[in-house]
Every structure is written in structure tokens, then in C-alpha cells.
Structure 1
Amino acid sequence: MNHNTPLSPRPLRHVTEVHRRVMSATQLRSHGIATAELNEQCRPGGPWQQLLPHVVLLHAGPPTDEERLHAALLYTARESAPGVPSQPRPDEPHRPVYAEAVITGMAALALHGFSSAPPLASLERIDVLVPRLRRLRTTGYVRILRTPSLPNPRQISGLPVAPVPRALADAVADLADAGAVRRLLTEAVRAGHCEPAAVVRELNQAKLLSRPHVVDAVDSLLAEGRAIAEDRLYRMVREYGLPDPVWNVDLRLPGGPHLGGLDAYWPDQAVAVELDTRAPRQDEDALWSEYARKREHLERLGITVVHITPRKLRESMEQQAAIVRTALMASGDREPAAHVVVLPR
């Protein structure tokens, strides 16, 4: 028997199970499939088919959504060494590891479970982020998006997927439909995928905030985010047994200047809560300075200000309630606060 004869492709059943029936030409060669044999298997009407350059689907018929995604990553991912297939992790022996390639855009949003994103089967294009200096070209159904630095991906079904804020920015970049943009951004917040500030930061970095329909959607997003944060603040007071504050008030010195608005205020204890729902746009530093000036002014008057972000309310409500409770309990140990006028906002 000639030991240099390439192995037949037929014994690859175990390989197709491991790699979800999608393999690169390099991986197939490492399993003994010569180029001539590969071309024969991928002939018109043959048992295999070439989905993308150097990426083979090991069956006839249309690929599944998962196979299209794995093929896109096989095309774009950097292999660890020539002729060596990506190695699975010990805890996930049937999942290949994809280096320097991250699914983004609408495909990523579909994988994150967005109902307002088209289903994977209907997407004509899958966007993949790669480092800026990678030498790859857009081909077939895969569009290459270059970036100076890849985001830290989330692993979803063994696939590296861009975080929601980045995926949203890459999806919105192609959308001229204001309603579609608004639906995507609103779902991101309502479904708890991320905070509005993270979305606005990515949109700003992508230079999308100069588009009027995106700005309109962002304004709706911020209003939605504030409403959700306020609702969580009400829940925190109710569920953790805090005394009822006065809600949404303005403070003024008697006969003097306006001191600023607050989301919750306990007059007897001179404790206030302020939600930080700033949007990280170009004027972020100016907005933060305004927050800081107001807080410093109130604290000089003896009023304790507890600053809470929507993310902290979402992820650690009990801890935020404990902070407020501690501030209320400590009020008896402080000098009495200056008298202020409390007005509805």
C-alpha cells in the first residue's frame, strides 16, 4: 500500500461532527485530502461545495444559518499556523477557536436575540470585524469591516460575537430607515442588553451622530433609558423598605438661586439621589463638570448627594439601596443642613 496516497474523504464523519460540517482547505489537507480530491468532491453536483474561498461545506444542499456563520469565520479568522487547524478548548472539544475575527452588525444582533433584527436566514450579508492590517477582501456573503482594535467578543453558540453596542453601531451605519434605527436602539435598552450611554458612545466613535435620523433615535433612546432608570429607582425604594422621598424636585435657597433638580430627596435627612443618565457625546466633560458643581454646592449646604448610574441600579440594586439607607441613617450625626425650598420639577 502506498502510504503517500491521500486519505479518502469518506472517513471524515467524526471531523464533520466536530467542525459542524464546515472546514477550510487547510484543515482538509491536514486530514489527508489532496487538492485534486477536494476539487473532485466540490465539482458541480458533487457531495461537497465551496461556500467561500478556501472554505468547504461537507454536504450538498443549502447551508444552515450556523454553517454560514462558521464558514464566514473560517474565511476571516487567522489560523494558528500553516496547515494546523484551529484547536478546540478542553471544555468545548467540538468548537473551533476563531482568532482575529468577530461577527458584528445585524448577524450579531440576531445572535444576541434581537426581535427587531432580521432573522439570520434572511441576511444576504454577514459582517465580520478584523484587525485593520489584515489582508482580506469582502467576498460572497461576507463583508469585511476593518477596525483598529477588535472588541472583546461574547461567545454565543461557540461563535465570537461583538458586544451589543458595537454590533448596533455597525448595523446602524447601513440604515437610512429612522424607524428601524429607533426599534433597534429601543430594544437594546428595554431588553436589558446594555445601557444607553454605551450605545451612544459607540455611535459617536463611529461618527454616526451627524445623521439626523440617528440623532432622533438617540434622543428617544435616552428618554427611554431615563424612564427605565426612574422606574428601577421607584422599585428600589419600595422593595428595600426605604422611607418615601419626594420625587423629581428642584431645590432653591429661600429667595436665592436655583440649586438644581434631583430625582429623589428626603428633606428630613437632607439626602438626595441623582441618576446619572448623561450621554457620552462631545460635551461629556462639560456635562460632568455641571454634575460635579451641583453636587459640591449641595454638599457645602449639608445635603448628601448619592450619585447612581442606571447600570448600578440594574446590576446591584440591593447595594445601591444599602448606600442610600446608610446615608439616611448617618444624617443624625451631621450638622443640620441649610434650609432649602423644595419645588416640584
Structure 2
Amino acid sequence: MNHNTPLSPRPLSHLSEAHRRVMSAAQLREHGVPAARLSAQCRPGGPWQQLLPGVYLLHPGPPTSEERLHGALLYAGRPATGPLPRPGGAPEALITGLAALALHGFASTPALTGLDRFDVLVPRTRRLRSTGCVRVVRSAEVPVAEEVTGLPVAPVARAVADAVAQLADADDVRLVLTEAVRGGHCEPAAIVRELNGARLLSRPHVVDAVDALLAEGRARAEERLYEMVRAHGLPDPVWNVDLRMPGGPHLGGVDAYWPEQAVAVELDTRAPRQDEATVWTEYTRKRDHLERLGITVVHLTPKKLREAPEQQATVVRTALMASVDREPAAYVVVLPR
């Protein structure tokens, strides 16, 4: 038998080219290849070679990036074919880290051909060791896979956190975080949540990059808010102002304010960190104080502004129209901030 000989009795037509060229020992047995023949095929100078423990490359020469990725998933115990698990299904092995970001189309990460190792995310209970081109990443919770080029890949926020865990250079971390936001892959809060869960926010170079990320995320959210008001014909508000009682205390800053209707918009750009409970308490205290004065506060998240701007414009327009049916709000002083 040579490497072009069919592995019948089970046909291979249902497999992709990469799946035909990378198979596990169990799959080869299913296709009629006994252990003795497998061993013979993998002798020095033979047509096949062992790529990883229990995983075989069915041709001579170096593997392609696609073959290495399929081999990594096979090593982690994921079937080489079949649909991705449904949401809520049993967690499986996923490509994560830099390899996942490369598959998601990131320009700030090395191409797959430039990676010596691929990170594979598996449940914490799995007894599996890193070996060869596979670095095993364990997690108590494995997210639902996203399908990219037919492969199960971790969502961007989780892949970013797993990549950052392996990056020691501050510039590399900053570039990855910035592209995740500027490229529209995900919101800063989702990334910070994953970094916090991975206990990476204690690293100085990560903290500095996160501060820049949050500033970037807020700027992007403000741009979307401006665009929402313009594109959907809302009346012009005053932007980025502080509200104060006449001769009294500071009430807090808001991102947009319509004085005649006493409607304020505030962007919820909080990021989950250690002091989230304290931040949320201050956040709600300000909102409650403004609403007691008769000011309607509309909270918009960056994600909703990005995914459903028309719906958010309707929420703001409804609040503006409802002002005619409310008691007049208390007079407040509006100052630029």
C-alpha cells in the first residue's frame, strides 16, 4: 500500500482534503488499516508519518498549516468531521490564542505558517498534555465554538485572552487588543471580562494596554452615538456635559443631553474589573438622583449601538416624545466637560 491507496472499506469522499491527509489511529482502524500496516507505513522513508501521538500525516514531507490544525484537534479528541456542537452542547476542543486570531483575520498576529504551536482549548477535566505543535489550554468553561473555515474556533474575546497569556511584549499586547476593537470584532468589556477571568490584569503591560483599549472603545462608542443621532434624524443634543444644581452639587456627566426634554443619554462603557460592584453602585446612584429630578436617563451600550442603531434611536426618540406628558424637570445647570 502507498499513500495514494484508498483506505477502504469505508470511503473517504465525505472527508475534506485535509481530513483525508490527517487521521487518527482510531479513524484509520475504521477505514480498514490495522496497527501492523500503520506501523509499516510510518517507518523511516515510508509514505506516512506520525504528526502527534495517535495522529498521522498520510503523505511524506512537512504538513501544511491546515493539516497541523486538523491534527491538533484530532489529538485533543475532537472528531475530524461533523457539525459543530449546538449552543449548550457538550464542550469540545477549540482552536484559541494566536492561531484563532489568525483564523479570525487579525493582521496584528503572525500568519498560521509563522506559528510553531497552536493553542487548543479543552475542558479542565481533560487529561491531555501539550506536545509537538499543540499547546493545551484548560478552562473550567469552554465557550461555544464559532466556525471559521470549517474549524471550531474560540470567540474573539476568549482567543484574545489566551493569546495575551502567551505575549510578554507590551506592544504586541496593545496591537492585539486595539485590533480587536477597531476591527469591530468585539467590545472592550468582553475582552476585559476574559482577561479578568484569566487573572491577567495583574500584569503591568496588560493593564497599560487595557487602559488604552478602554479609551479606544469609548471613542468608538461616542462616534457611533453621534452617527446614530445624525443618521436617524434626532434633534441635536448638547454633547459631553456636566449637570449641576444651581449653586449646588455636581450631579454627574452625561454623553448627550436634550435640555428642553430633560433627556440624557449615557454610554455604559463600564468594564468588569475587581471594583465592579463599587463602580456599579456609583453608576446607579447618579442615575437614580437624575431621575428623581425628573431627568430621563437612557443607557446605551456600545454593543447595541453597533448592532442595532435604529432600535436605539427609537428608544431615544420615544423618551424625547414622552417628555410632553411628564411633570417639568428640575432646573439644572449644563456645563461643558
Q: What is the DSSP-based 3-state SS (H/G/I as helix, E as strand, rest coil) of the residue aligned with 2:239?
A: strand
Q: What is the DSSP-based 3-state SS (H/G/I as helix, E as strand, rest coil) of the residue aligned with 2:270?
A: coil
Please tell me the residue identity of whatever aligns with 1:44: P
Give the structure 2 partner of residue 305 of structure 1: 297
Is 1:11 the counterpart of 2:13 in the alignment?
A: no
Is 1:159 the counterpart of 2:151 in the alignment?
A: yes
Q: What is the DSSP-based 3-state SS (H/G/I as helix, E as strand, rest coil) of the residue aligned with 2:277?
A: helix
1:202 to 188, 194, 197: 194
1:236 to 222, 225, 228: 228
Q: For 1:128-157, what per-residue CA distance to the aligned partner results, in whole angstroms no more than 9, with x for missing partners?
A: 111112121111111111111211111112
Q: What is the DSSP-based 3-state SS (H/G/I as helix, E as strand, rest coil) of the residue aligned with 1:305?
A: strand
2:166 to 174, 182, 197: 174
Shift of 1:88: 2.4
Query: After the TM superposition, which residues 135-150 of structure 1 pair with which residues of structure 2 at under 5 Å, given as runs?
Result: 135-150=127-142
Give the structure 2 partner of residue 60 of structure 1: 60
Using the alignment, how far apart are the partners of 2:152 and 2:220 within structure 1?
Answer: 30
Give the structure 1 partner of residue 113 of structure 2: 121
Shift of 1:217: 0.1
Shift of 1:317: 0.4
Is 1:88 the counterpart of 2:82 in the alignment?
A: yes
- Cα contact 1:102–1:128 (8 A) shared by 2: yes
- Cα contact 1:42–1:48 (8 A) shared by 2: yes
Give the structure 2 partner of residue 224 of structure 1: 216
Identity over aligned pairs, percent? 72
Give the structure 2 partner of residue 341 of structure 1: 333
Change (3 A) 1:259 1:8: closer
Using the alignment, how far apart are the partners of 1:169 and 1:192 within structure 2?
Answer: 17
Using the alignment, how far apart are the partners of 1:224 and 1:7 within structure 2?
Answer: 56
Structure 1 gap segments, 5+ residues each? 1-5, 80-85, 91-97
Give the structure 1 partner of residue 314 of structure 2: 322
Change (3 A) 1:251 1:275: same
Shift of 1:8: 9.9
Using the alignment, how far apart are the partners of 1:99 and 1:256 within structure 2?
Answer: 56
Using the alignment, how far apart are the partners of 1:135 and 1:259 within structure 2?
Answer: 55
1:273 to 237, 260, 265: 265
Shift of 1:49: 1.4
Shift of 1:231: 0.2
Using the alignment, how far apart are the partners of 1:32 and 1:294 within structure 2?
Answer: 70
Give the structure 2 partner of residue 44 of structure 1: 44
Please tell me the residue identity of whatever aligns with 2:336: P
Please tell me the residue identity of whatever aligns with 2:246: P
Give the structure 2 partner of residue 105 of structure 1: 97
Q: Greater shift after overlay, 70-79 or 184-193? A: 70-79
Shift of 1:12: 3.2
Give the structure 1 partner of residue 31 of structure 2: 31
- TM-score by structure 1 length? 0.91
Change (3 A) 1:151 1:89: closer
Q: Greater shift after overlay, 13-22 or 258-267? A: 13-22
- Cα contact 1:301–1:337 (8 A) shared by 2: yes
RMSD: 2.0
Give the structure 1 partner of residue 283 of structure 2: 291
- Cα contact 1:298–1:305 (8 A) shared by 2: yes
Q: Greater shift after overlay, 9-18 or 132-141? A: 9-18
Q: What is the DSSP-based 3-state SS (H/G/I as helix, E as strand, rest coil) of the residue aligned with 2:233?
A: coil
